[in-house]
Each structure stands twice: as structure tokens, then as C-alpha cells.
Structure 1
Amino acid sequence: MSSARVLLDRLVERCTFPDPGTPVVCALSGGPDSSALVALAAHVGLDVTAVHVHHGLRDSADADAATARRIAGALDVEFRSEHVDLDDGSNLEDRARRARQRVLGPDALTGHTADDQAETLLLALIRGSGARGLAAMRPGPTHPLLALRRADTVAVCDALALEPAIDPTNSDPRFRRNRVRHDVLPLLDRLAERDLAPILSRTASLLRDDDDLLDELAAALDPADARALAAAPLPLARRSLRAWLSLDGYPPTVAEIDRVLDVARGDAEACEISGRRRISRSGQRLSLFQNPV
């Protein structure tokens, strides 16, 4: 048995891929993580279509697409490249991510690793997120490599001689994730005198368990029942309202949820929230209305 096969066999034991034969879309940028994702997915017998999203943001965009095509060919999987236009806005990182999501869809497999998970938790902490944000990415079929490290994905590429592209924007300090990756995490590692990525990944896992329990308890509340909301523990009341008010695509802020709770408690008659919506109370029931344009 070749050393490459031994390596892949060992690594897939830590992955969460679907059953062999399952048709899957794998995001393939041409970098080490996504290249290893496609290699491991093919190794376990998935029916892989590798999709490259061509943003056209860098001078090397065409070369990256060619690299992705070459790697897909070397791994003998289907390949397609999709050109995208970015939404208007100031946050380039977010706009590029939204464009990728539109092309790939919600069920695409991505090559995020434990290192990405640690960065995601720290970024959520910087934003002031609650347990849901700090829980970061959920392990499962769409994130099958979350138990692996970047060193593992590089090892896969080296073992298979894939020669992935190295994205220079991964070192661009304009992107907050890069500053967390290259500055914040190494500093924390030095302060803790140990590798924190697996520890932060474990923290995210514990927070996911808490988040799931809170969701289950909040689902038992009727978000339109003002009396029940007012009597419920604040974390459950907030979660119940967030789920209800997010149904039409406008997730409320914490401040908006708290204004709705003021209405539920009788401290206010009504309130306005995002999406041109209004919450009012009649008796013990809350009602949600769409304001006219």
C-alpha cells in the first residue's frame, strides 16, 4: 500500500463525509484545503463535482481557475468553473462569500479545518456574538474536515503531488480573518504556551451543545404569547422571538428583540423593527404587521 493511501486512510477516519456513492458538490478554490477536500472525498468514494467560483478579483484569478481544473483532472472528478459578479458594498470579504454561497448552494462541502474553526470563534467573539455565533461551524457532511489541521491538508497535497495554488490574499491584512490568523492566534498560542486551535474547536463544540438545548427549550414557547414571553427566562424569550421574527428574512438585532419584549411586558404599546415591520399587543397576544412603503 502506498504511503499516500495510508495517509488518506488515516485522515478520513477523522472526517465526517456522507456515505460512499453520495453525489456531492465540493468547493475547489485550488488552494491546499479545498484540494485536500476533493482528494479525500474522492478517496472515500463520493460522486464528486468540484466547483470553482471565479470572482475575478485578482490578477491570478484565471490561473487559479486553471489550477483548480488541473487538480480536479488529476483526481478524476467532474469540474466546473462559475464566474460571479459581487454585490455592491464596502466589505469585500462578505460580498465574495455571498457570491460563493449563491453558486455553491447550502449543501456544498467546504475544506474548513480546525484552524478555520478557531478563527471563526475568535471573530465571533470580536463581534460580541452569543452562544450561537461562538459555536462557529457545525461539524457534519458540509464541513467534513473540521477535525483536521491545515498541516494535514498540506500533507495530502504533497503526498499526491497536487501543487495547489497559494492565495496571496490569505496574507492581506485588510481582511480581519487574516489578522486573526497571522497575529492574534499566534500571540494567544505564545501566551498560553500551547496550541489553542484544538482547544478553541472544543469550546465551539461545547457551545453548540448548549445552543442546541436552548433552541429546543425556546421552541416550546409561543412567541406571540405575551404573558409566556414575559414570564420566560430572558435567553429563551429572546431565542423564541429571534426565530419568529427571522422567518421573513430579516433577523432582528438584540436591541430590537428587547423592544419587542418591552411590548410583551406591557412597558410599550408597540415598536418598529427592521424590514418595515411593527409589533403591537392586543390583550395577551403579539401581532406582527408590515408597514406600508
Structure 2
Amino acid sequence: MSPAVGRARNAVKAALAEAGWPSRVLVGCSGGPDSLALAAAVAHFARRGAVGGHPLEAGAVVVDHGLQEGSGEIARTTAGVLAGLGLSPVRVVAVEVRRSGEGPEAAARAARLGALEAEASECGAGAVLLGHTLDDQAEQVLLGLARGSGTRSLGGMRSVRGLYIRPFLGLRRADTVEVCAAEGLEPWFDPTNADPRYMRSRVRVGIMPFLEAELGPGVAEGLARTASILGQDADYLDAEAERVYAGLVERDAMESGQATVLLPGAAVRELPAAIRSRVLALAVIELGGQPTFERLAAVDRLLERRGSAGPIELPGHVSVHRQPRRKDAAPGTEYGKLVFVSHR
């Protein structure tokens, strides 16, 4: 057995154990080397009906984004390969990629994840396995650094998060190519991965090789380690913020029927900055808004004892204002609560 095949199977087994041994899973597969190698590793256990002494059934989903000529034929060919590996059921799902302000990559990702989640729900799968590798993790961290992202974004992808399992975050992209060769599989190489119109492609083809050449080998591994370290920090801070938020939040409805969340200004202002920003973001998210860095900073300024009381408008039709202090209030009396309102 090829060493790469062994590493791939061990990675799948470890990830399923971390996820609590789901008995029915789906593999999201594009036909590329990463997801095809993952499908082969999962199929190895599915053919035996068990992994690590736990029962396992595995199917697959091929999402056809319809963005390239011949994408339907590629998807059908991939589905045939997956069925030949022993995965069942294998579904091809065509999606409509609706362009948004976030760009075509984000729009395709949203359509793909929506399709995978719908298929998992329909067939009763407890997890969806994705083929992201250490190289993908490194590229994501580098992009996050360039964009000035926070701890959560720099924490990268987790091997297990919600419905999704990513067993290959410790494997290099070259490992998956080796797995496909050893298993006699012919992966499809997506031409958009080298298309300079896409930011991630420029990072993959140009920037990462340049960094490896100038700084020496190990850059990708170093960026992936950064994600692992910051991911643990982000998990702790997120959990602490959720605990604090649950103890502070008040929910109400204005006379117009708009959903409203209130937070006590004085208590929020005293929170450490790392927790305060997360608490404010949780209020925005609860109402369906998008807590961007610049808009959250504006909301944070409402906590000052002077200046504007808002409203601050956030993406997603959410506004925030500070309740005024009563005119007859004694000197030193605190301003009122922060009021988050959904205008959907």
C-alpha cells in the first residue's frame, strides 16, 4: 500500500473519531484530486461497512455549478467513478450560482454548501466530508492576513465543525495526487485553479511558490500551524462571549413588530475589548445582520459617554442606537441601553 494511501485512510479514521463516529456520511466531490482521494479513502471503509469498530455507510454528492462548458458531463463522469468505488447513493446536483457583492468564489461556495446541506438532510447523513488540504488552509490564512481579518478568520478551517468534516487538513495537496495515482484514479484538474482572475488562484499559483522560494520550505506548514493556534484561541473567546451575551441580552418587540435586541451599555462597556466586540457581533447576527469590522467599531463608539447616539446601519437591515439619558437624570447617570433593531 502506498504511504500516501495509508496517511489518507488514517486521517479519515481520526476525523470520524473526532466527530463522534457518524454512521452515515456524504463525501462532497468535485472530481479533483483532493476530493477524489478523500472519496477513495472513505470508500475503503464503507465497502467494509465499518471504521474503527463503528458502522459506516457513505454516499457522495457532486455539485455542478454550471460555470464552465461541459460541467455537467464532468459531474456525471465523476459520479460514475464514485459509484464504482462503492459509494452509495451518489447524487449529481445542479445549482444556480447567484452573483453577489462578495464575488463569484463566495457565491459558488454558498450554492455548493447549500446543496450539500440539503442532500445531507434528505438522506439522513450525520456529516459531510470535504477534501480541503493543508495547502488550502495555508492559502486561507494568507488571504486573511492580507485582508486584515480577525482571529476567527485566521483560525482557518477546523477538521470538525458542525456538519462538516475535513480529514485532510494535515495532508499536502501532493499527497492527494499520489493517492489518486496509487488507486488508479484519474482526477479532473479544474482550470480555474490557475486562473489569475481569482484571488485564491493567484495565491496558489504565484504567491505561495514565491514565498517558498524566498523564505525556504515550510511556509505552508507554518501558516497551517498559525491557523491551529489561533483557532483554539478563537474557540475559547467565542464560547466566553456567548456565555456573557446570554447573561446580558434582552429581547423585545417594538410596536411596529420589528425584532429587537437590547444590551446594557454600562456592562458591555466594561467588557474586555476581545469579548465586547464578539458580544456586539452576536446581537447583530441574532437579527440576521452582518457585523463588519468598520460597522462594529461604529457601534462600539456608541458606548462612549459623548457623541452620537446613532443609529448605526449594518449590512443585513440591522440598525443600532443608544437609548438617550433622561433630561432630568442626575449627574453621572449612565446612558441607556444599546438597541439593535431588525428592519426586515
When the two structures are superposed, what TM-score results if normalisation uses the length of structure 2? Answer: 0.78
Which residue of structure 1 lines up, in the alignment, with residue 295 of structure 2? Answer: 256
Q: Secondary structure at the match of 1:50?
A: strand
72, 75, 82: which is aligned to 2:93?
A: 82
**Contact conserved, 1:264 with 1:281, CA < 8 A, in 2?**
no
**Residue of structure 1 equivalent to 2:257:** none
Q: 2:322 aligns with which of 280, 284, 292?
A: 280
- 1:159: how far off? 1.0
In terms of mean alpha carbon deviation, does 280-289 or 103-112 score higher? 280-289
Q: Deviations over 1:233-270 (max 9, x none)?
A: 22221111111211122122222222222222333323
Residues 25, 129 of structure 2: 8 Å contact kept: yes
Q: Pick one of 311, 322, 326 that aligns with 1:271.
A: 311
For residue 11 of structure 1, the aligned residue among 8, 12, 28 is 8
**In the TM superposition, what is the alpha-carbon distance from 1:276 to its structure 2 partner?**
4.2
Q: Does 1:42 align with 2:53?
A: no
Q: Gaps (5+ residues) in structure 1? A: none
Structure 2 unaligned segments of length 5 or more: list them.
Answer: 47-55, 121-126, 250-262, 325-334
Matched, 1:216 2:239: yes
Give 2:282's aligned residue.
Answer: 243
Name the stretch that deviates more: 132-141 or 212-221. Answer: 212-221
- Indicate yes or no: 2:167 matched with 1:153: no
Distance 1:206 1:49 in 2: 33
Instruction: Between 261-270 and 139-148, report the one with greater CA deviation.
Output: 261-270
* Residue in structure 2 matched with residue 96 of structure 1 by the alignment: 108
1:21-65 Cα offsets, whole Å, 9 max, x none, are 621111111111110111111223332111011112112313311
- 1:76-112 Cα deviation digits (max 9, x unpaired): 1121101111113362212111110110128421100
Aligned counterparts of 1:65 and 1:209: Cα–Cα separation in 2? 37
Distance 1:123 1:231, change over 3 A: same
Instruction: Work out whether 1:57 is the aligned partner of 2:67.
Output: yes
Secondary structure at the aligned position of 1:108 is classed as strand
Partner of 1:139: 159
Cross-structure match for 2:254: none
Between the aligned partners of 1:131 and 1:188, the Cα distance in structure 2 is 22
- Does the 8 Å contact 1:25/1:49 carry over to 2? yes
- Alpha-carbon contact 2:32-2:187 (below 8 Å) kept: yes
- Residue 49 of structure 2 corresponds to which residue in structure 1? none
Query: What SS does structure 2 have at the residue aligned with 1:25?
Result: strand
Distance in 1 between residues matched to 2:91 and 2:133, nearest whole Å: 24
Q: Distance in 1 between matches of 2:107 and 2:312?
A: 28
After TM superposition, the score normalised by the length of structure 1 is 0.91
| CA–CA separation in structure 2 for the residues paired with 1:290 and 1:112 | 36
Q: Which one has a bigger Cα radius of gyration?
A: 2
* Residues 270, 62 of structure 1: alpha-carbon distance in 2 compared, 3 angstrom cutoff: closer
Deviation of the 1:178 alpha carbon = 0.6
Give the root-mean-square deviation of aligned CA atoms: 2.1
| 2:323 partner letter | R
Q: Percent identity?
A: 35
Structure 1 counterpart of 2:332? none
Report the counterpart of residue 258 of structure 2 in structure 1.
none
In structure 1, C-alpha distance between the alignment counterparts of 2:65 and 2:336, rounded to whole Å? 51
Sort the Cα spacing of 1:49 and 1:181 in 2 relative to 1 into closer, same or farther, 3 A: same
